[in-house]
Amino acid sequence: MFEVLQVVTAMAVSVAMALSLAHALEFPGKRRLTKDIYYSVQPIYYPGFTIGGAVGEYGGLLLLIILLFLMPKGSTSFWLTLVAVLGVIGMQTVYWIFTHPVNKVWLKEQQLDRMGSGFFSLGKKGSQLGRMEWTELRDRWECSHVVRAVFSMVSFIALVTAISL
């Protein structure tokens, strides 16, 4: 059963890594888009990336925490699993501080279902981001995903190393 938990956890964390890495790899190409094209592209990420984020980041974090408690305390696998947990927490921290507020700007004109409306209403009200130039919003959003990709890769590599020992 422990081995199954390890594999399922690795799969969840790999989803988080895949999504964040996909965003990071789009960065150079998306910087070439005009404002109108960029704004028309941004809503395509909802709901797919939102669902994937729930599975990969929230599911992965929950599974990582369970796995951490089952690892032999003080072992190399324990410490590497802790690094993996901290990596996903780092992803979430960057998301809520930098990415989510910009998502709210991108999606403000979109018709979202009840769950999406609830999720994207989380966070500060009356954000000043709506007054920023679109290129500043774009760069904040895109760069936050590059940082999240680094956190996710660290997390995934640490986890795979931990379970391979």
Q: Are 142 and 22 in contact (CB under 8 A)?
A: no
Q: SS3 for 71?
A: coil
> Which residues, 6+ apart, have CB-to-CB distance to 19 below 8 Å?
49, 52, 53, 56
* Backbone φ and ψ of 109, nearest 5°: -95, 0
pLDDT at 53: 84
| The token pair that represents 107 in the structure block | 């999606």
Report yes or no on whether pTM surpasses 0.85. Answer: yes
Query: Which residues in 89-107 are b (16+ Cβ under 10 Å) and which e?
Result: bbbbebbeebbbbbbbbbb
Side-chain-side CA neighbours of 110 within 13 Å: the count stands at 21
Domain ranges of the chain: 2-164
> Which residues, 6+ apart, have CB-to-CB distance to 23 below 8 Å?
49, 142, 145, 146, 148, 149
Distance between CA 83 and CA 67 in Å, rounded?
12
pLDDT at 106: 75
pLDDT in tens, the chain (165 residues): 999 999 999 999 999 999 999 999 999 999 999 999 998 888 788 777 778 888 899 999 999 999 999 999 999 999 999 999 999 999 999 999 998 888 877 776 666 666 655 666 666 654 677 678 889 999 999 999 999 999 999 999 999 999 999
